């Protein structure tokens, strides 16, 4: 187990270094779309956004998910800048969903099962404030729902330790580079994807089975 954790840590560091050296033609940033009239938006941070974006996108009622950076002060940061851990941003996802199909409460519950919300500034081999767990809210009602879901998940003892997720007001999400969008599906042969991201996605599929789109059941 220790050897595997060390290997995953080395893999994570290698991935960070590789992406920090990404060529200029891959530095185009994704577009943050305006919600359709029947859509609402939610924002979460739960470690590497490759796994979180995939897991959340598999839920019924979720129309699209944009990977980006939120919670910090640097405007329009690049992935390379966020990796320096000086921007204050966390890797995050912006979720566009149909509230008539999936509620904010159910979406928030899925978020807590999509990663480990009991570790401070850490998700598996990934460590630092850019990997912290954050649930962002846009209204007092959303904040109340998040706090209620935290209490609910804690009460089930799904996790041995208590949830330490930060609950913060949403301000802005800066979209990440285009190559990060949908990265999970286009890099299934990547060691990090198969050994770090995939277990998270599979965990969410198991715990939120009834909320999955038919192709993921």
* Residues with active-site annotation: 48
Distance CA 5, CA 197 (A): 14
Distance CA 3, CA 34 (A): 45
Residue 126 phi/psi, 5° resolution?
-90, 125
Distance CA 115, CA 133 (A): 8
196: burial class by Cβ within 10 Å (0-12, 13-18, 19+)?
buried
Distance CA 130, CA 103 (A): 27
Distance CA 54, CA 188 (A): 12
- Give yes or no for a contact between 99 and 194, defined as CB atoms under 8 angstroms apart: no
List the beta bridge partners of residue 29: 177
């Amino acid at each position: 187990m220790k050897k595997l954790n060390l290997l995953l840590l080395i893999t994570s560091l290698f991935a960070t270094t590789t992406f920090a050296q990404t060529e200029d033609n891959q530095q185009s940033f994704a577009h943050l779309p305006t919600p359709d009239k029947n859509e609402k938006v939610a924002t979460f941070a739960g470690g590497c956004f490759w796994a979180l974006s995939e897991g959340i996108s598999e839920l019924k009622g979720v129309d699209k998910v944009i990977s980006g950076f939120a919670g910090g002060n640097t405007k329009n940061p690049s992935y390379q800048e966020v990796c320096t851990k000086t921007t204050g941003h966390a890797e995050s996802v912006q979720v566009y969903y149909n509230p008539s199909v999936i509620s904010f409460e159910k979406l928030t519950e899925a978020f807590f099962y999509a990663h480990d919300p009991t570790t401070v500034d850490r998700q598996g081999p990934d460590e630092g404030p850019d990997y912290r767990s954050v649930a962002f809210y846009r209204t007092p009602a959303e904040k109340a729902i998040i706090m209620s879901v935290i209490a609910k998940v804690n009460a089930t003892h799904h996790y041995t330790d208590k949830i330490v997720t930060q609950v913060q007001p949403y301000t802005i999400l800066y979209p990440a580079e285009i190559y990060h969008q949908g990265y999970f599906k286009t890099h299934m042969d990547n060691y990090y994807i198969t050994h770090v991201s995939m277990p998270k996605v599979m965990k969410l599929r198991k715990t939120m089975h009834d909320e999955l789109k038919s192709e993921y059941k």
